[in-house]
């Protein structure tokens, strides 16, 4: 049986996800390098199918998904050729999808908005995957409402609060649908690396006193972070990093700038200061360089398959083990280990 997904926003992350479905769809075993879980709950990547997609950019609306994922301003590298999907990108309402900075690069289509709930119903989508820009809070809420109307589960990769908001989680509970989020965690992202380092230091008796994590990138998402999303990103990342330490330290984590020639690359800088034996100070100064959107692919594929399991088990409301494993701002913040353990127990529950 196929897992049918609807993409909201055909940007860089959506491109990496669709390319990943093609790349891994025909591979197995050792050929699945870069994929954390080739199979989850009996589902491989070949079992995931895009059945609907929505965007607002004139270079994407009306195009087959296989073409739209490579249209500008997307700048994720071409990792796999994608054959015609036979799914055309529908126009969604713009709402707050385009920000002060991103209006320079997103060319809003003047086609008529589609009836999103109707398209979702007709496509028979199991779940809606929200990949809107991070500042599109109203748009994320609007699409969450459309998911509720059309009986779809909701995966919120954005930092808008949906799964972690009690009112929204309750709406999904009442509709007897699962919701997961918020703000997807990367496979080898700055947040994961930073938390792991802090946990390692703390486990070894180092008392971390101050730490920061700052990054620059060249994707549209980094452009959005210059303006309206700066504070929300900083707050979500800082809270997530703070949860890695069993005590309070001075933590700053956020995005700093947009560097267009980096394309979809993201450079993250970490600085950690702590005290080890006899209160002697120590310091770590590090840089991580990744391509942003592919970094989301592996976790997104895990989360999509886990949400299908949640649907099959008729779970409703926020699914805590999936939120804790795959997102920076779940309803209940936990350490990486606890998140992993909760997810493993969730997957093993049927066995």
Which one of 85, 251, 293, 304 is in contact with ligand NAD (CB under 6 A)? 293
| Region from 33-41, 145-153, 272-280, 291-299 binding ligand NAD, contact rule CB under 6 A | 291-299
CB of 310 to ligand NAD, least distance (A): 20
| Residue 219 interacting with ligand NAD (CB under 6 A) | yes
CA angle 11, 17, 20 (to 5 degrees): 140
198/232 with CB nearer ligand NAD: 232
Which one of 296, 309, 311, 319 is in contact with ligand NAD (CB under 6 A)? 296
Q: What are the Cα distances from residue 346, in Å, to 40, 177, 341, 351?
A: 11, 17, 8, 10
292/320 with CB nearer ligand NAD: 292
| Region from 79-87, 93-101, 201-209, 268-276 binding ligand NAD, contact rule CB under 6 A | 93-101
| Residue 215 interacting with ligand NAD (CB under 6 A) | no
Which one of 3, 13, 18, 347 is in contact with ligand NAD (CB under 6 A)? 13
| Residue 339 interacting with ligand NAD (CB under 6 A) | no
| Region from 214-222, 253-261, 278-286, 337-345 binding ligand NAD, contact rule CB under 6 A | 214-222
Distance (Å, rounded) from C-alpha 227 to C-alpha 208? 31
Q: What are the Cα distances from residue 114, in Å, to 88, 200, 299?
A: 12, 50, 30
Residue 62's closest CA among 90, 22, 38, 33? 90
Distance (Å, rounded) from C-alpha 44 to C-alpha 140? 28
| Region from 144-152, 253-261, 289-297, 334-342 binding ligand NAD, contact rule CB under 6 A | 289-297
297-326 positions binding ligand NAD, by CB under 6 A: none
Residue 296's closest CA among 73, 139, 76? 76
136/249 with CB nearer ligand NAD: 136
CB of 5 to ligand NAD, least distance (A): 14
- Cis-peptide into 76, omega within 30 deg: no
Query: For the window 176-195, what string marks contact with ligand NAD as x by the rule CB under 6 A?
Result: -------xx-x---------
Q: Give yes or no for a contact between 268 and 213, defined as CB atoms under 8 angstroms apart.
A: yes
8/162 with CB nearer ligand NAD: 8
Helical H segments across the chain, by residue range: 12-25, 65-68, 116-123, 137-150, 166-174, 190-203, 220-224, 230-242, 294-312, 320-326, 336-348
């Amino acid at each position: 049986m196929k897992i049918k997904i609807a993409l909201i926003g055909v940007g860089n992350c959506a491109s990496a996800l669709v390319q990943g479905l093609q790349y891994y769809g025909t591979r197995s075993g050792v050929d699945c390098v870069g994929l954390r879980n080739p199979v989850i709950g009996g589902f491989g990547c070949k079992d995931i199918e895009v059945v609907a997609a929505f965007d607002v950019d004139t270079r994407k609306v009306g195009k087959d998904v296989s073409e739209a994922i490579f249209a500008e301003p997307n700048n994720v590298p071409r990792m796999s050729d994608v054959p015609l999907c036979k799914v055309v990108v529908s126009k969604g309402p713009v709402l707050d999808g385009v920000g002060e900075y991103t209006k320079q690069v997103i060319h809003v289509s003047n086609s008529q908005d589609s009836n999103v709930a109707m398209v979702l119903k007709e496509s028979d989508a199991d779940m809606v995957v929200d990949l809107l820009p991070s500042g599109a809070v109203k748009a994320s809420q609007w699409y969450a409402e459309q998911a509720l109307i059309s009986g779809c589960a909701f995966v919120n990769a954005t930092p808008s609060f949906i799964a972690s908001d009690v009112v929204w989680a309750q709406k999904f509970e009442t509709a007897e649908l699962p919701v997961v989020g918020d703000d997807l965690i990367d496979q080898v992202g700055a947040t994961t690396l930073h938390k792991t380092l802090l946990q390692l230091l703390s486990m070894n008796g180092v008392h971390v006193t101050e730490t920061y994590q700052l990054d620059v990138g060249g994707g549209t998402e980094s452009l959005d972070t210059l303006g309206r999303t700066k504070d929300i990103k900083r707050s979500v990342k800082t809270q997530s990093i703070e949860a890695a330490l069993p005590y309070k330290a001075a933590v700053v984590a956020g995005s700093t700038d947009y560097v267009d020639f980096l394309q979809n690359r993201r450079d993250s800088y970490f600085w950690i200061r702590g005290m080890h034996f006899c209160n002697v100070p120590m310091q770590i100064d590090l840089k991580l360089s990744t391509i942003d959107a592919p970094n989301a692919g592996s976790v997104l594929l895990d989360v999509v398959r886990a949400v299908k399991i949640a649907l099959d088990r008729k779970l409703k409301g926020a699914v805590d083990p999936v939120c804790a494993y795959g997102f920076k701002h779940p309803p209940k913040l936990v350490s990486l280990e606890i998140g992993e353990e909760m997810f493993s127990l969730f997957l093993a529950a049927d066995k």
